[in-house]
Amino acid sequence: MILVTGGAGYIGAVTVRELLDKGFAVRVLDKFLYGDAPLEEVRTRIDCVEGDICTLDEAILDGVDVVVHLAGLSNDPTAEFNPEANKRMNTFATRTLAEACKRKGIKRFIFASSCSIYDRGMMAEDIIQDEDSPVTPRAAYATSKYAAERALLELAGKDFQPTILRQGTVHGWSPRMRYDLVVNTFVRSAFEQGVLTVHCGGEMWRPLVDVTDVARCYVACMQADLDVVGGQIFNLSHKNYRILELAHWVKRALEGIVDAEIHVEYGSQTARDYRVSTRKIERVLGFRTRVSVEESARVMAAKVQAGIHADFHNPRYYNIKWLELLVEMEAHLKRLGSIF
């Protein structure tokens, strides 16, 4: 049995399907902040548990062989919206879950971390960073992920062997769609406005990876010898792109589907900026990504043309907008009391 925390999320919904396709039994633990619709078509094939990783019931781990830990706040705006909740969910809950796994004898634990911990700002020296590069995370999200990594490695031993994947900026179509990720934003903007807007001159670097490749990598880590992946950190990315270059690739991918122009804005130099090496995961695990940005953009465009996730103003597609709406509604309901 594979436990996927956050299994109804953007990456989780794709991961659950990948695991089912490979014949694994799957249990999902999710609070369903964004609803349970992303799992609707596979609901009868999984053990689905509604719950909060911050108040973990260890019974969720009964019969589990591997944990794929995806739950938590997942980008800078949501982390900065509530830094304490970010720390509680991304760091403390990760440690609590890992300690419970250790007590239960669950050795395999795959953790979705982030390449954003490498960010040193646009004024820093432009270098390609690997898993041994010194890091000093700056933003709340990156800091919480790095602290979780440290906690997992402190617990590592023969009876608990976590695998940490520092993921590049993810993109691509998912049953729990997001349009607040750079490639996805470009596709949405092409359809909605006919313009791809690039900020800060588009000079900043970003490692990119398609969500289906991320799910494939989880499976590869699960199937690898534990002596090879246990206690290891791997960067996961398809390629490093300058954002302006990325806009041109997306524009080219959408030719014949939707016409779009590129608009470049200049100004702030505070954008995230980092490049990473993927040599370790290719050498040690033999894992290589398959999905290019162009293919990913075309798949998303085809879904939009078919009317799937084409309601671009739906706040569920934007993590911070949805959380802000939920918090506002929660406060309103407390004041309102009973509706009828």
> What's the chain's Rg over C-alpha atoms?
20
Residue tagged active-site, from 118, 141, 317, 318: 141
Active site residue 141: yes
List 167's β-bridge partners, or say none: 114, 236
Report phi then psi at 49, rounded to 5.
-120, 125
- Rounded to an integer, what distance in angstroms lies between the CA atom of residue 278 and that of residue 238? 8
Q: Rounded to an integer, what is the distance from CA 332 to the centroid of its chain?
A: 30
Q: Which residues of 227-258 are buried (b: 16+ CB within 10 A; e: fewer)?
A: eebbbbbbbbbbbbbbbbbbbebbbebbeebe
- Are 143 and 73 contacting, i.e. CB atoms less than 8 angstroms apart? no
Nearest to 5 by CA among 36, 34, 29, 37: 29
Q: Which amino acid, residue 39? A: L
Q: Which residues contact 197 (CB under 8 A, 6 or more apart)?
A: 189, 263, 265
Q: Which residues of 108-139 are buried (b: 16+ CB within 10 A; e: fewer)?
A: bbbbbbbbbbbbbebeeeeeebebeeebebeb
Q: Where are the alpha helices (DSSP H) in 231-292?
A: 243-253, 279-280
- Rounded to an integer, what distance in angstroms lies between the CA atom of residue 47 and that of residue 299? 29
Q: Which residues contact 276 (CB under 8 A, 6 or more apart)?
A: 115, 118, 128, 129, 130, 166, 168, 207, 235, 237, 240
Residues catalogued as catalytic: 141
